[in-house]
Every structure is written in structure tokens, then in C-alpha cells.
Amino acid sequence: MTGADLAVLQPYCENDMRLLKKISKSIFSKFNEPLAKADYDDFYSIANLTLWQVYNSYDPDMDISFEGFLYSCLRKKFKTELTRRHRQKRILNQFAVSLDGINDNEEECSLLDFLSSDFDTFEEATKRQGNEQYQDKVQRYISRLSNEQVNILNLLMDGYKVKGICRILEISEKRYADNMQTMRSYENVKILF
């Protein structure tokens, strides 16, 4: 397009780019993807850049109108950006590992077994409390646990490993990990201090 054709951009640039934002919103609604306010701002920036790229590459002899060409280019740019964002989330999720997760090898251990730490919640609570106070707090802690969690706790104190506990209680390793997460949660453990 030539400089004389700048009039084609005027409707998109008026009223704080209202028409460009309207077109962008119609594209967002078709993606069924919830976007935060910050996401809208990012995509409006992409739309603004795309508007200028479309203006520079549009040929009036094409079989498509400027608005149609702009719409299809915006849709492709937005789809590419959403794909890129989802790819980044997948990459980050590959590195997310639960400390209670069970090792896939034949060994009955979790990641917590390999972390060196001399911190013991019960030992620490005993140091800070008188013996009678400590027993009361332990009883309150145990009263907050489900029957299954109390059974897990008893088996752990008896020295059983994860697979043995799962076999005895007839629960999955995921259910065991979920129970351990609840048992170690701050909401439950804070009673001991």
C-alpha cells in the first residue's frame, strides 16, 4: 500500500484502537481460553504490531478485503502465542515433582528419603514443649487425621516402607502421597508448636 492508503488504518486507530480491540475480543471468544487483564494487554500489543505488518504486506489486488486479511492474520498470531504459552507451561510442569512421590524404580523410597535434613517435626516439638504439653498437642494432631492417615502414621512408626504400607492398607501410591501431604500440611503440623 502507499502513503495515500493510510485512510484504511484510520477506523482501526480511532477511539483508542476500539475497532482493533473489538476484532481481537471476537477472536478471543472463539478460543474458549480465559484470559487475565494482563493477557489482554499482551494480545492487544500483538494486535497493534500485526495491524502494521498487515498494512505493509496487504495488496489491494488480493481476493480478500483488508479487514478479512487482518482478521485471519490476527487469528494466526493469537493462536501461535497461545500455543507458545501452553508449551512453556508444559515444560515447567515436567520439572514439577512431589517430594512425596514414589520412585519408579523397584526401590520403596520417595524424594524425601534422599534429601539430607536433620529436622524432625516431632523431635523439635518435644524440645520446645514440656512432656505433658507435648502429649496433648500430639493427641490433638492425631485427632485431626483421618483413620487412614492414623494407620499410615502407625505403620511409618513401625518402620514400614511406602509399598508395604500401600499393600497393607490396600491403597494406591498416589492416595498414600495425598495423605502424606495432608499429614505434613502446615494446617495440621502447626498444632505441635
Domain count, the chain: 2
Q: Which residues contact 139 (CB under 8 A, 6 or more apart)?
A: none
pLDDT of 8 reads: 81
Look-up of cell digits 478479512: 68
Please tell me the distance from the alpha carbon of residue 166 to that of residue 43, in angstroms, as a whole number. Answer: 48
Domain boundary residue, one of 94, 124, 158: 94
Does the residue 106 lie in any domain?
A: no
Does the residue 69 lie in any domain?
A: yes
Does the residue 101 lie in any domain?
A: no
Instruction: Print pLDDT tens along the chain (193 aa).
Output: 544 477 788 888 888 888 888 888 888 777 766 777 777 788 888 888 888 888 888 888 888 888 888 988 989 988 888 888 777 666 666 555 555 555 555 556 665 665 655 656 556 555 555 556 667 777 887 888 888 988 988 888 888 888 899 999 999 999 998 988 888 887 777 776 6
pLDDT of 4 reads: 42
Statement to judge: residues 83 and 145 lie in one domain? no
pLDDT in tens, 130-145: 556 667 777 887 888 8
pLDDT of 170 reads: 92
Q: What is this structure's pTM?
A: 0.45
User: Vertex 48, ends 14 and 38: CA angle to 5°?
Assistant: 105
Does the residue 80 lie in any domain?
A: yes
Statement to judge: residues 52 and 130 lie in one domain? no
Statement to judge: residues 17 and 66 lie in one domain? yes
Statement to judge: residues 29 and 61 lie in one domain? yes
How would you write 115-149 as a 3-class SS string? CCCCCCHHHHHHHHCCHHHHHHHHHHHHHCCCHHH
Buried b (16+ CB within 10 A) or exposed e, 59-70: eeeeeeebeebb
pLDDT of 112 reads: 62
Please tell me the distance from the alpha carbon of residue 145 to that of residue 162, in angstroms, as a whole number. Answer: 18
Does the residue 99 lie in any domain?
A: no
Statement to judge: residues 20 and 60 lie in one domain? yes
Statement to judge: residues 90 and 7 lie in one domain? yes
Please tell me the distance from the alpha carbon of residue 158 to that of residue 152, in angstroms, as a whole number. Answer: 10
Domain that holds residue 136: 115-192
